[in-house]
Each structure stands twice: as C-alpha cells, then as structure tokens.
Amino acid sequence: MVKEHHFSEPWDQIVKRLLSALLVAISLTPPAFAGDPDPSNWPSVLEEAKGQTVYWNAWGGAENINAYIAWAGAEIEKCCGVKLIHVKLDDTANAVAKVVAEKAVGKSEAGSVDLIWINGENFASMKRQGLLMAAGWAEKLPNRKHVDVKGKPTVRTDFTIPVEGLESPWGMAKLVFFHDSARTKAEDLPKSARELVDWAEKNPGRFSYPQPPDFIGSSFLKQVLSETIADPAKLLKPVNEAMFVADTNPMFELLDRLQPNLWRQGKTYPNNYPDMKRLMNDGELDIAFSFNPADATAGIEAGELPDTVRSFTFPGGTLGNTHFVAIPYNATAKAGAMVLANFLISPQAQARKQDPKVWGDPTVLDINALPEADKAAFAALDLGIATLRPEQLGKALDEPHPGWMERVETEWKRRYGAAN
C-alpha cells in the first residue's frame, strides 16, 4: 500500500476551502419540496403529466425493443399528451451513475433521468442509496390490478430484494438457450451447466458468454453458481465472505475447464446477447442464450437467424426474473413517468410486447384474470416455432442476492479479466 500524503495542517485547510468552493459551492441548490405526484389521485397525475417530456433511460442495443419503445411513446403522446424521449444506453449502469453523480453534487430536483429500465443489482444499489422515488407508487397505478402478483413472485422480490412499490414490473425473463437444428442435433445438447462444459470440450470454440459485467454474461455465471453450490439456500442471503472461496470453488473449477474451449479461447467475448445471436447466424457459435424465451423466434422474424433455430432449457431449471421501470428521486417529469409506467402494464401494451413479431417479451399480467377482449388478444398471439410453451420452460431458479453477483464479477475479472 502507498502511504497517504497529507499536507501540513493550515495549508491543507486553506487549499481545502478554496477547492471546495470550486467543486461544491456552485452546486448547492436550495432544498425544494415539490410534493411528488400521488398515483392514488390518478386524474391529478394525468393533469400534471400533460405536456411533460419523459426522458426514459433504457438500453438501446436492440432494434426491436427501440421500435417498441417508440411505439409506446407515440401512444402516450396521443392519449395523455406526454412526450417520450428514449435515451439509448449501452449499459443501464450509466443511468444509475448519472443519478448518483447528480445526488453527489446536490442536484435533488430537475434531474436528467425520469425513468430507468432496471432490475437486480442496479435496483438494489439505487434502493440502498435512496435514489428512487418514494416507495409504493408502483402499487397504486391503475393498471396494477392486472399484474400477476400471486403467480409471479419475482414481481415483488427483485433478486431477493423486496420491491416495495419502488419499481413497476414491465416484463418477465427466463434464461433460455438456443441452437441451430440444421447444425447441431437436439439430442446432443447439454442438459446442465456441467454437461455444457463437457459439450464444449467436445466442440471447442463453439460456445461463449458475454463478458461480465454484461448483464447476461453475469447471469450465466450465476446460473453455473446456482447449479454447483452445495447449499443453494445460501444464495438467497448476502455473501458470507469467510465461505466465499469454498462456496464458489465448484463453479470456478467448472469455468476453468470451460475457459480453453470457449470461442476465441476466451481471449475475447461477445459484447452481449444480441451479439451472440449475430455470431450464431455467422456460424461462429453453436449455442447461444437469452433472457427472453421468444428471442429465437423474434430473431427469425427479423431475418437475423435462420428458421432452423430452436430453443431449449435445462431440466434442473434456469434463472428467471422480472424486469422493471423505476423513477429516480430527482426526476423532472415524475407524473409523466408514472403515466408511462402505467401504460406499459396495460393489457394493450403488454400483448403487443409479447408478440414475437414485435419483441416477444413475456407479460407480467395475469392473463386469465383479464377481461375477455384482452384475453383474446393474448390468445391470438402466435408465439412462433422457436419459442418454448410456458409449460416447457421448466423450473425457474431464484436469482441470488445481489451481493453474489458483485463478488463473483470481481473474482471473474481477477481470474479471466486479463487473459493475454
């Protein structure tokens, strides 16, 4: 460790004061108490939202998702006079970093982010640091009544963290693998993480995962962890540092075996899951995966994948979770953001989202409890040849506590982060 170099006392004081003036003084804004809009008084929210512009920070790497968001923007402008601007991120963490930085300089209102597409670690981090708008708003939205809270427990606990109405659900996710049946036979496919590593040994260079901390890449590590840890119950609690090495040892033994057989020998990785899709179409990968069960079908529809691609999961279960939208504590257009969040869980918006021709992202609603017309809209959807039926998707494994992902990512970086 390098020793700290402190300046002598008086000089230190002077410099400190001067510099504080430079960095902080300009940033002190008087605290204002503009009451947050109250969703239980919905007409007033609608009134306040009219004319607002909502800056929705959402990952912008997938064309079909961008197009869906643009559609949602056109809809809420028509119905409610709310303008939507999609701030396309290449990583959701950037939006969190923006809010954190704004809080750091004391910008407690008129922030630059109105709504974030979020879940898991980023949500946990924002909740912990008090960066989200008052608890409970999400449970008071008018369309909340359609949400399948009972049947989909991850709507209320996001990666073991209680949601408490701080974020509103948007879609369901389940880890699904896919392969091209024209190249690989269904019966040769692995049925667990361990078998996947064996498969890669026999087919070197034909499998990879996005480089952590990419969300899907880290999720793959968690899938391996969930399958290999001796006592899975431990994953639902924060990491026990003393036991971390022992707990993750089987996982890293497996990853060590996988490493030399990865695509490009693990010297580089796909950027993210759409990149895996591209590599599969290029014939560089034989097995890819996604958190959206309809992704293969959507890829076929978009001409990004051949129509011989099919999906599969592990019989022992794969990770499942819910993704959400959240409003930062210092958002500028809170009412507008609520109107948008409410629209996103309307049966109309959810049915469109689940259509593989549009996006294919599974709904968070309880379809059976919907009014007949809406139920029919869902029933009319053709989920497509490459999408597994809900009953074929298999067991959903719980997401580990966010602390695990952080520790596993650090350890991954230490082991494989400098491959060259």
Partner 1 sequence: MEAALRRGKLTPMRQADRALSIAIAVSPALVILILAGPVIAGLAGTLLPAFGFFPVLGGDSFNLDGYTMLFAEPGIWMSVWLSLFTGLAATAISLVVVILAIAAGTGTRAFAWLTRMISPLLAVPHAAAAFGFLFLFSPSGFLSRLMSPELTGWTQPPDILIPNDPMGFSLILGLALKEIPFLLLMALAAASQIKIAQSRQLIASFGYGRIAGFLIGIWPQLYRRMRLPVFAVLAFSTTVVDVAAILGPTNPAPLVIRLVGWINDPDLSMRFIASSGAVVLVLLTLTAILLWTGLERAGSVLMRRQSGRGQRFARDALAQKLSLIVATLTCVIVLTGLLLLGLWSIAGLWQFPHAIPSQLTMRSWMSALPQMGGPLWTTIAVACLSTGISLALVVLVLQRASETKREARAGQWLIYMPLIVPQASFLFGLQLLVLGSPFAVSVPMLVLVHMVFVLPYVMLSLGDPWRGFDQRYEQIAFGLGQSRWNVFWKIRLAMLLRPILTAFAVGFAVSAGLYLPTVLIGAGRLPTITTEAVALASGGNRRAIGVYAFMQTLLPFVAFSLAMLVPTLLFVNRRAMRH
CB nearer to partner 1: give 81 or 205: 205
- Cβ proximity of 394 and 203 under 8 Å: no
List binders of partner 1 among 174-213 (CB under 8 A): 204-205, 211
CA distance 350 to 346: 6
Residue type for position 62 = A
What is the size of the binding site for partner 1 (CB under 8 A)?
A: 87
Using a 10 angstrom Cβ sphere, with 0-12 exposed, 13-18 middle and 19 or more buried, the burial of residue 31 is exposed
For residue 317, the minimal CB distance to partner 1 (Å) is 28
CB nearer to partner 1: give 47 or 90: 90
Per CB under 8 A, 139 contacts partner 1: no
Q: Name the 3-class secondary structure at 125.
A: helix
Per CB under 8 A, 96 contacts partner 1: yes
Stretch that binds partner 1, among 102-110, 159-167, 186-194, 386-394 (CB under 8 A): 102-110
For residue 397, the minimal CB distance to partner 1 (Å) is 25
Stretch that binds partner 1, among 119-127, 160-168, 287-295, 371-379 (CB under 8 A): 119-127
CB nearer to partner 1: give 228 or 261: 261
Question: Considering only residues 108, 192, 259, 281, which one is a binding residue for partner 1 as defined by CB under 8 A?
Answer: 281
CA distance 251 to 223: 10
Per CB under 8 A, 368 contacts partner 1: no
- Cβ proximity of 47 and 103 under 8 Å: no
For residue 34, the minimal CB distance to partner 1 (Å) is 16
For residue 271, the minimal CB distance to partner 1 (Å) is 6
Query: Helices (H), strands (E): how many in the chain?
Result: 14, 11
Question: Considering only residues 81, 142, 232, 306, which one is a binding residue for partner 1 as defined by CB under 8 A?
Answer: 306
List binders of partner 1 among 5-24 (CB under 8 A): 5-7, 12, 16, 19-20, 22-24
CB nearer to partner 1: give 121 or 247: 121
CA distance 112 to 122: 17
Per DSSP, 189 falls in state S
Using a 10 angstrom Cβ sphere, with 0-12 exposed, 13-18 middle and 19 or more buried, the burial of residue 102 is buried
Q: Which two tokens stand for residue 396?
A: 């959903």
Per CB under 8 A, 243 contacts partner 1: no
Stretch that binds partner 1, among 37-45, 62-70, 139-147, 383-391 (CB under 8 A): 62-70
CB nearer to partner 1: give 143 or 272: 272
Rg (C-alpha) for the chain, rounded Å, is 23
Question: Could you give the dihedral angle defined by the CA atoms of residues 245, 257, 281 and 355, in that order, rounded to the nearest 10 degrees?
Answer: -40
SS3 letters across 368-389? HHCCHHHHHHHHCCCCCCCCCC
For residue 21, the minimal CB distance to partner 1 (Å) is 10
Per CB under 8 A, 261 contacts partner 1: no
